[in-house]
């Protein structure tokens, strides 16, 4: 980890795509939820911000998906991931509280199609701690954009997973360390200065 320290008032944990519809395809979903819950507790205890990102579509969103969008054309055609469905809500084990940031997206990355950046900047946040599924989806997209927006980025290793373990390992070992720090839920509290 090096000498990374975070100021709680300038840090936000983003809990991304922790929705039943996304978690259902992962064998380690129970462990992910447990680790994410622990991370949320740690950041709350240290007085950091918590943000939640979920993928879900309102009726008007389907028509806004162009045929060129390979990832979401089938979703739009099937009217899948409906915001009205219970399985697209944030999992109750890591549910938001009053005062948390909550955004709904209609693409892969946390910043895409949301006002997340505006909300983070309004709170003076300059460091993001990421938990999410899938590693090759929301984590990859969000790491790249967060780094391009000059956030300091931390990924909680035991709070991310992917259906393809090889892709997960490649990203975590070879790609992400170029733009993000990697930590675990057990190490998280030690990153906060003056917590």
Residue ranges of the domains in the chain?
A: 8-55+88-191
Whole-angstrom distance, CA of residue 75 vs CA of residue 150: 32
Q: Distance between CA atoms of 176 and 121, rounded to whole angstroms?
A: 23
Tokens representing residue 81 in the block:
């991931």
Cβ contacts of 99 within 8 Å, gap of 6 or more: none
Judge: domain 8-55+88-191, CATH 3.40.50.850: yes
Q: Which of 95, 113, 132, 114 is nearest to 14 (CA)?
A: 132
- CA 36, 29, 18: angle at the middle one, nearest 5? 55
Query: 80: buried, middle or exposed (CB in 10 Å: 19+, 13-18, 0-12)?
Result: middle
Residue 84's nearest CA partner among 102, 104, 64, 98 is 104
Q: CA 152 from chain center: how many Å?
A: 15
Q: pLDDT 10s digit of each residue in the chain, 195 long?
A: 457 899 999 999 999 999 999 999 899 999 999 999 999 999 999 999 999 999 999 999 999 999 999 999 999 999 999 999 999 999 999 999 999 999 999 999 999 999 999 999 999 999 999 999 999 999 999 999 999 999 999 999 999 999 999 999 999 999 999 999 999 999 999 999 765
pTM, whole model, 2 decimals?
A: 0.96
β-strand partners of 154: 129, 181
């Amino acid at each position: 980890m090096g000498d990374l320290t975070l100021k709680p008032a300038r840090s936000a944990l983003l809990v991304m795509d922790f929705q039943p519809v996304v978690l259902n395809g992962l064998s380690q979903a129970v462990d992910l939820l447990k680790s994410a819950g622990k991370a949320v507790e740690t950041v709350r205890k240290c007085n950091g911000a918590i943000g939640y990102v979920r993928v879900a579509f309102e009726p008007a969103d389907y028509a806004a998906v162009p045929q060129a969008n390979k990832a979401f054309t089938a979703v739009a055609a099937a009217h899948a991931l409906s915001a009205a469905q219970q399985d697209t809500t944030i999992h109750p084990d890591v549910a938001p509280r009053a005062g948390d940031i909550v955004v709904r997206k209609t693409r892969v990355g946390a910043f895409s199609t949301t006002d997340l950046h505006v909300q983070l900047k309004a709170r003076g946040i300059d460091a993001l701690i990421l938990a999410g599924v899938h590693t090759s989806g929301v984590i990859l997209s969000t790491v790249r954009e967060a780094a391009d927006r000059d956030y300091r980025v931390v990924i909680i290793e035991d709070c991310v997973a992917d259906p393809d373990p090889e892709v997960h390992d490649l990203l975590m070992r070879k790609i992400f360390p170029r733009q993000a720090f990697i930590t675990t839920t057990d190490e998280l509290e030690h990153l906060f200065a003056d917590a």
